[in-house]
């Protein structure tokens, strides 16, 4: 088999890397990267046969796969910090508006100790239960 041009090898590598977008197997990409690396090497070193180039590309790809697959997968699918689902159960500061308590972007009915509240007054929220806040 005739030697493959460096551009052909790089093109095959880019094709494999592009196919990874559809499969997400994290296998094809490394073989493609092997083709790209052997393509770059082909600019500087003349291979005697295309079979050697293809074999070397696959071997380099498999080595890269074994070394970097899990690290790369962890990096791509890194865990994001969990958001609290129960953010309303937190204590906080609310404001009296229109005879209701404005707290976390919502107007709430309130249960308090019986003292009258004035508009604009800041109150400490102890807990949220149903559609009422306890102050």
Q: What is the pLDDT of residues 95-119, one digit of tens each?
A: 888 888 888 888 888 888 777 888 8
- The sheet with strand 127-129 has its strands ordered as 122-125, 92-97, 100-103, 106-111, 132-134, 127-129
What is the number of other CB atoms lying within 10 angstroms of the CB of residue 42? 21
Residue 4 pLDDT > 60, yes or no?
yes
- Express as a percent the part of the chain with pLDDT over 90: 40
- Provide the domain count of the chain: 2
Q: What is the mean pLDDT of residues 28-33?
A: 93
Average pLDDT, the chain: 86
pLDDT at 85: 54
Residue 29's domain spans which residues?
6-76
Q: What is the pLDDT of residue 114?
A: 76
pLDDT at residue 7, as a whole number? 95
Q: Would 31 be classed as within a structural domain?
A: yes
Separation between Cα atoms, residue 8 and residue 81, nearest integer Å: 43
For residues 65 and 116, membership in a common domain is answered with no
Looking at the structure, tell me whether residues 53 and 91 fall in a common domain.
no
pLDDT for residue 14 is more than 60: yes
Return d(Cα 91, Cα 69) in angstroms, integer. Answer: 44
Q: What is the pLDDT of residue 66?
A: 93
Strand, helix or coil at 88? helix
């Amino acid at each position: 088999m005739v030697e493959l041009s460096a551009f052909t090898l790089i093109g095959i590598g880019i094709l494999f890397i592009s196919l990874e977008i559809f499969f997400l197997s994290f296998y094809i990409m490394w073989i493609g990267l092997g083709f790209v690396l052997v393509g770059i090497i082909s600019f500087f070193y003349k291979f005697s046969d295309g079979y050697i180039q293809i074999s070397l590309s696959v071997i380099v790809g498999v080595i890269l796969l074994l070394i970097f697959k899990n690290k790369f997968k962890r990096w791509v699918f890194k865990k994001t910090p969990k958001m609290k689902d129960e953010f309303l159960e937190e204590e906080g500061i609310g404001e009296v508006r229109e005879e209701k308590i404005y707290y976390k972007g919502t107007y709430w009915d309130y249960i308090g100790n019986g003292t009258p509240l004035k508009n604009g007054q800041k109150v400490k929220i102890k807990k949220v239960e149903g559609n009422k806040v306890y102050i």
